[in-house]
């Protein structure tokens, strides 16, 4: 059996770790053909080193680390590749591969729309505005890519508008985004987190708009079925194509399809129209 490590950011907030564990539990149920583990890059346990060592000691010959990250920032480009390279040195006979990040895949866009629908909003309601709340980055192009995600969430709906706002010092703030949405004709605002799990930053966003009229908050992506499906797909892509920013040529060379992999049907189909359109 091969192994999949779902690598999350980590947080001091226990709600974050609990949410990630629930999401990975769903992934585990979806992929009984794999030994699925969770690891964290920072602030939470277990760390990546510990999980890789445990899997290698258990006799696994192939390990794929899937970064549960929404962007290709420092953690994905530097931290995780360095950790995995050190692990290859410790375990030279194990294929250790880094899969692609989750990014702004359409499955997560659909998941956010579903979280918005859970607040009671319909896609046909032109009085609704969406403030997509994200973390923000010190890298301007990364913020611009995140700003585009709001328009992807908006696509196919009659909402008045959607604006990405940021929990950090990047502009616009949540209050500024809500002001923009009001000028676009939105009477009702849904703050939709572009976060996998709750924590300090999601709390900061909620507190910043507390008391504003007609503002509701959607849930984080969390253990939405689309998240487990996307992590599973990232694993399959890394194995079948050997596509990994952090793997060595030798590791990529052995990243061939798993011969005995069992099918993993998506029990709650993502190839459906969002609940917004029902």
Neighbours of 216 (CB within 10 A): 14
Q: What's the CA gap between 107 and 102, in Å, rounded?
A: 9
pTM for this model (two decimals):
0.86
Q: Name the E strands within the chain.
A: 3-8, 35-40, 62-67, 95-98, 128-134, 161-166, 188-193, 215-217
Per-residue pLDDT for 251 more than 70?
A: no
pLDDT tens figures, 31-67? 999 999 999 999 999 999 999 999 999 999 999 999 9
Q: 125 and 68, same structural domain?
A: no
In the chain, pLDDT over 70 holds for what percent of residues? 87
Residues pairing with 12 in the sheet: none
- Residues 213, 229, single domain; the answer is no
> Considering the domain boundaries, does residue 273 fall inside one?
no
Q: Is residue 272 part of a domain?
A: no
Q: Please tell me whether residues 138 and 99 are part of one structural domain.
A: no
The tokens 């990405």 sit on which residue?
Answer: 164
Q: Do residues 7 and 98 share a domain?
A: yes
pLDDT greater than 60 at residue 254? no
150 is in which domain, residue-wise? Answer: 119-217
Query: Does residue 267 sit within a domain?
Result: no
> Are 56 and 21 members of one domain?
yes
Question: In the structure, what pLDDT confidence band is assigned to residue 242 with cuts at 50, 70 and 90?
Answer: low
Q: Sheet containing 161-166: give its strands across.
A: 161-166, 128-134, 188-193, 215-217
pLDDT above 80 (res 247) = no
Q: Where is the domain boundary, 168, 189, 217? A: 217
Per-residue model confidence as pLDDT tens digits over 89-102:
999 999 999 999 99
Q: Return the pLDDT at 277.
A: 52
Residue 50 lies in a domain: yes
Q: Is residue 154 part of a domain?
A: yes
Q: Are both 90 and 228 inside the same structural domain?
A: yes
128 found inside a domain: yes
Last residue within a domain, chosen from 167, 192, 217: 217
Residue 262 resides in a domain: no
120: CB partners within 8 A, 6+ apart? none
| Residue 144 located in a structural domain | yes
Q: In whole angstroms, what is the distance from residue 206 CA to residue 111 CA?
A: 20
Residues 89 and 125 placed together within one structural domain of the fold: no
pLDDT at 166: 97
Count how many domains the chain has. Answer: 2
H helix intervals, 10-47: 14-30
**Each residue's pLDDT tens digit, 196-207:** 999 999 999 999
On whether both 229 and 96 belong to a single domain, the answer is yes
Which pLDDT tens digit goes with each residue over 133-185?
A: 999 988 899 999 999 999 999 999 999 999 999 999 899 999 999 999 999 99
Residue 197 belongs to domain with CATH number: 3.40.50.1400
Nearest to 130 by CA among 219, 220, 216: 216
């Amino acid at each position: 059996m091969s192994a999949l490590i779902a690598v999350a950011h980590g947080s001091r907030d226990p709600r974050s770790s609990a949410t990630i564990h629930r999401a990975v539990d769903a992934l585990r149920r979806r992929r009984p053909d794999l030994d699925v583990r969770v690891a964290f890059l920072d602030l939470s346990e277990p760390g990546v080193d510990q999980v890789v060592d445990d899997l290698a000691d258990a006799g696994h010959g192939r390990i794929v680390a899937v970064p549960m990250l929404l962007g290709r920032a420092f953690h994905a480009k530097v931290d995780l590749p360095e950790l995995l390279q050190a692990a290859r040195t410790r375990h030279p006979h194990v294929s250790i591969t880094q899969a692609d990040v989750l990014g702004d895949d359409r499955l997560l866009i659909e998941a956010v729309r579903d979280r918005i629908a859970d607040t009671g909003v319909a896609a046909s309601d032109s009085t609704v505005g969406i403030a997509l709340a994200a973390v923000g980055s010190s890298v301007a192009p990364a913020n611009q890519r995140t700003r585009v995600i709001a328009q992807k969430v908006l696509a196919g709906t009659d909402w008045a508008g959607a604006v990405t706002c940021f929990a950090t010092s990047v502009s616009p703030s949540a209050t500024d985004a809500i002001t923009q949405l009001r000028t676009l004709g939105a009477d009702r605002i849904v703050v939709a987190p572009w976060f996998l799990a709750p924590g300090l930053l999601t709390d900061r966003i909620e507190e910043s708009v507390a008391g504003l009229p007609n503002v509701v908050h959607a849930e984080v992506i969390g253990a939405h079925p689309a998240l487990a499906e996307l992590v599973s797909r990232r694993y399959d892509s890394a194995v079948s194509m050997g596509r990994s920013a952090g793997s060595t040529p030798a590791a990529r060379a052995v990243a061939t399809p798993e011969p005995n992999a069992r099918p993993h049907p998506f029990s709650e189909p993502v190839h459906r129209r969002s609940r917004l359109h029902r």
